[in-house]
Amino acid sequence: MVGEQRRVLWEKMIRRCIELAIEAASAGNYALGALVARSSEILSESGSTLILNGDDPSAHPEMVAVRASAKLLGSRHLPGTTLFSTLEPCPMCVSVAIWAKMDGVVFGASQEDARQWVAKHPSDIYSWRMIDIPAAAIASAGVPRLWVHGGILREECVALFERSR
C-alpha cells in the first residue's frame, strides 16, 4: 500500500477510535478508544469501560478489542491485523498485541502528550497513572517484532484528554 493510501486508512481508523472515546466519555468512562483492523476491515472495537465495569483492571480498550477479535476469529493469534488507539498503548496492551502476533500498532496521542497534559491539568476525579515505558520499547523486546507508529490525528486525540477530567 502506498503511503498516501495508508495515511488515509489510518486516519479513518483513528477517527473511529475518537468516536468510541467520545461515546465512552459520555457514559462516564475515560475518553479512550481502540480497535483491531485487518486491512480496511474493523474486526472489533471498544471505548474505555474501566470505570463503569469496575472489576477488571485489564479492561483497557486495546485489551478488550484484542480479546474480542481473538474470540471472533477463534484464535489467540491474529496475524495480519493492526491495533489502533487514541492513546499510545501501555506495556500491558502492547504485550498482548505481541502475544497475539499482530502486525503493528497505530496511535494518536503519545504517553508523553498525556504526561504533559496531566501536569497542566491535575484532576481530583481521574487518576492518570502511567507505566513509563514507550510502546516502541516493549515492541522492540518482543517476537514477532511489532511495528509502532504514533501521532495520527494527534491534536484531536490530545483534545480527548479534556473529556476525561
Any idea which residues carry the catalytic annotation?
62
CA dihedral of 148, 153, 155, 160, whole degrees rounded to 10: -90
User: Are 131 and 88 spatial neighbours (Cβ–Cβ below 8 Å)?
Assistant: no
Between 42 and 98, name the residue whose CB sits nearer to its own copies.
Answer: 98
- Establish if 9 lies at the interface with its own copies (CB under 8 A): no
Choose one: 9-17, 31-39, 115-123, 130-138; the region binding its own copies (CB under 8 A): 130-138
**Of residues 95-124, which lie at the interface with its own copies (CB under 8 A)?**
95-96, 98-100
What's the grid cell of residue 139? 515492541
Helix 61-73 vs helix 91-99: crossing angle, to nearest 10: 10
Contact positions with its own copies (CB under 8 A) in 136-155: 137-138, 141-143
Query: Binder to its own copies among 132, 155, 162, 165 (CB under 8 A)?
Result: 132
The single residue listed with the C-alpha cell 477488571 is 56
C-alpha distance from residue 154 to each of 24, 69, 76, 86 (Å): 19, 25, 30, 8
Q: How far is the CB of 86 from its own copies (least distance, A)?
A: 18
Residue span binding its own copies (CB under 8 A) among the ranges 15-23, 29-37, 38-46, 50-58: 50-58
Residue 49 grid coordinates: 469501560
Rounded to whole angstroms, what are the CA distances from 54 to 50, 51, 61, 147? 6, 5, 13, 31
* Under rule CB under 8 A, residue 78 binds its own copies: yes
- Contact set with its own copies (CB under 8 A): 50, 54-59, 63, 66-67, 70-71, 73-78, 90-92, 94-96, 98-100, 129-133, 137-138, 141-143
